[in-house]
Amino acid sequence: MTEFDNQPDRADEAPDATDRAGVADDADLMEVDAIGTPAVPPRPARPWWQGAWAGLAAGGLAVAVGMLIAAITDVVSPIDAVGSDVIDRTPRAVKEWAIRNFETNDKLVLRIGIFTVLALAAMVIGALATKRVWIGVAGIGAFGVVGALAAAGRPGEGAGSAVPSLVGAVVGASVLYVMLRRPAVEVPGPSAAPLGWDRRRFLVTSGTTAVVAAAAGAVAHRITSNREREFTSQAAQPIPEFGDTGVTVDIPAGADADPNTPFITPNDDFYRIDTALSFPRADVENWSFTIEGMVDKPLTVTYADLLNRPQVERVITICCVSNEVGGRYIGNAVWRGVMLRDLLEEAGVQDGAEQVYSTSLDGWTCGFPVGAALDGRDAMVAVGMNGEPLPLAHGYPARLIVPGLYGYVSATKWLSKIELTNWEREGYWVPRGWSREGPIKTQSRIGYPRHRVPIDPGPGKIAGVAWAQHRGIEKVEVQIDDGEWQVATLATDVTDDAWRQWVLDWDATSGDHQVRVRATDKTGATQTEERTPVAPDGATGWHTITVRVR
């Protein structure tokens, strides 16, 4: 094909001075080679910025088509698959930094980051494709293959999950090829056409591509969020065994003392930490988990089995090893479920089993000593949280809860398998630089007043929470400026497995005061002043704030 193929189209255009000038110049540029065939004159390449824009539009279309097909066929979106791989491969320091700075928005930030990287790459690919169009096709194709491999390799996904990314790449690469295959004819001279036929066609094609991409992306997002919402509302149907009242445990009114921290954390306010970009959605009719490995009789337990077994409700505070001193990655709930010990006794734990190693539906793993399941503490397979079925974000249909252990070694959400193993097996976080065992460290936090939030002078109070799960809190002391440590009043003791609130009366005088807190657990150990980072096995140090009195 040559430039002259364009001429019939050109005739359709409203004739105007610039177009006529273009036609005339094209004719002038025509050369005739030795054997008399009209040769295509050397043409300047399309400007790089047009290539970048074309790359952005075509790349966007590739991603959006991939997301749309993934949403329709209900497989993992290529973006989430790559995001999950990024999470799995991110070095510990970066992950810690992300959790600290973005808190639970870390996944939103990751998605924005992925889209930004893709957009920049697509623009570079498009700009290069103005010189060699195959660079564009190959570039988009390469991203398609990356997305396909990531999707097919995620736990619970198969070869079919590669399809959305591959189809998206084919569509995106084709559109880029159509947009860039023929370089623009830039008309030389002072009468240069600012918007000739080719450029207009280019703008229309690329603009349409961008609009279609945005629409496809929006539809994909809609389908996915509708499906998740529908699933969540189904899952929220009360479990019959719960009755209408939900929680059966009485929480004494005296358990509260910190006005900023309810003793029971409502489900919607409960911190959430996991590696999942989208929640595994188990159909409870077909879901079950297994107990296998070093046991006499492997078990398969369905949702109905769990509900039919004797249930217990326990108040247990769980917390994250990534919780900084004074941090918020801690929550207290009434968990309902089946005692893990009962299940393990039925399966028959063999001699030599060292670790209870569990796997989630999305392939996350962790492990804790067998002793923690059998030493009498209330380790459980939980199906309920604060009188409701487990929310999807917190592990529906079932999760593990083990009093006294950080979540990263014990609290598997979306449970799929429990194996009895030796210590050779390593949970998800262990090779990523976290300690193999994760007993919770004794900690305390000032909840009221808030750091540097002014309060009125006069009689008032300082209050907060302290925790040493499964050991219990014996004493909390507060130090104001450099004064004596004062013993705080402890709120009603509900259980050693939950946090304990505390309060100290205080006559506040105007000015800034440094206030710090330390707790002593029921073994008599007082938390250390030494500040250590969250890695590898939990932060230590005394929570210290500045109280501003007007």
CA dist., res. 493 & res. 473, Å (int): 8
CB of 232 to ligand MTE, least distance (A): 15
Interface region with ligand MTE, contact rule CB under 6 A, candidates 21-29, 273-281, 376-384, 445-453: 273-281
534 touches Mo ion by CB under 5 A = no
438 touches Mo ion by CB under 5 A = no
340 touches ligand MTE by CB under 6 A = no
Q: Are 465 and 534 in contact (CB under 8 A)?
A: no
Residue 279 contacts which entry, ligand MTE, Mo ion, none (Cβ below 5-8 A, type-dependent): none
Residue 275 contacts which entry, ligand MTE, Mo ion, none (Cβ below 5-8 A, type-dependent): ligand MTE
Interface region with Mo ion, contact rule CB under 5 A, candidates 240-248, 316-324, 373-381, 421-429: 316-324
- Binding-site residue total for Mo ion (CB under 5 A)? 4
394 touches ligand MTE by CB under 6 A = yes
**Residue 174, C-beta contacts closer than 8 angstroms, at least 6 positions apart:** none
Residue of 413, 471, 500, 513 interacting with ligand MTE (CB under 6 A): 413
> Closest residue (Cβ) to ligand MTE?
407
CA dist., res. 350 & res. 287, Å (int): 26
> Closest residue (Cβ) to Mo ion?
320
Handedness of CA 390, 395, 399, 400 (dihedral sign): negative
CB of 335 to ligand MTE, least distance (A): 10
Interface region with ligand MTE, contact rule CB under 6 A, candidates 111-119, 229-237, 302-310, 404-412: 404-412
Interface region with Mo ion, contact rule CB under 5 A, candidates 139-147, 399-407, 439-447, 541-549: 399-407
Q: Are 325 and 539 in contact (CB under 8 A)?
A: yes
Residue of 98, 273, 390, 476 interacting with Mo ion (CB under 5 A): 273
Interface region with ligand MTE, contact rule CB under 6 A, candidates 183-191, 412-420, 453-461, 540-548: 412-420
347 touches ligand MTE by CB under 6 A = no
- Binding-site residue total for ligand MTE (CB under 6 A)? 18
**Residue 269, C-beta contacts closer than 8 angstroms, at least 6 positions apart:** 331
CA dist., res. 232 & res. 281, Å (int): 9
320 touches Mo ion by CB under 5 A = yes
CA dist., res. 58 & res. 39, Å (int): 31
**Residue 435, C-beta contacts closer than 8 angstroms, at least 6 positions apart:** 536, 537
Letters for 251-270 (x = contact with ligand MTE by CB under 6 A, - = none) are: -------------------x
Q: Are strands 355-360 and 365-369 parallel, antiparallel or unpaired?
A: antiparallel
Residue of 289, 408, 414, 502 interacting with Mo ion (CB under 5 A): 408
Cis-peptide into 536, omega within 30 deg = yes
Q: What are the percentages of helix, strand and coil residues in the chain, rounded to 5?
A: 40, 25, 40
Q: Among 368, 414, 389, which residue's Cα sits nearest to residue 155?
A: 414
| Per-position DSSP letters for 435-454, written without gaps between them | -S--BPPPEEEEEESPTT--
Interface residues with ligand MTE (CB under 6 A) are: 270-276, 320, 360, 362, 364, 394, 407-408, 411-414
Interface residues with Mo ion (CB under 5 A) are: 273, 320, 407-408
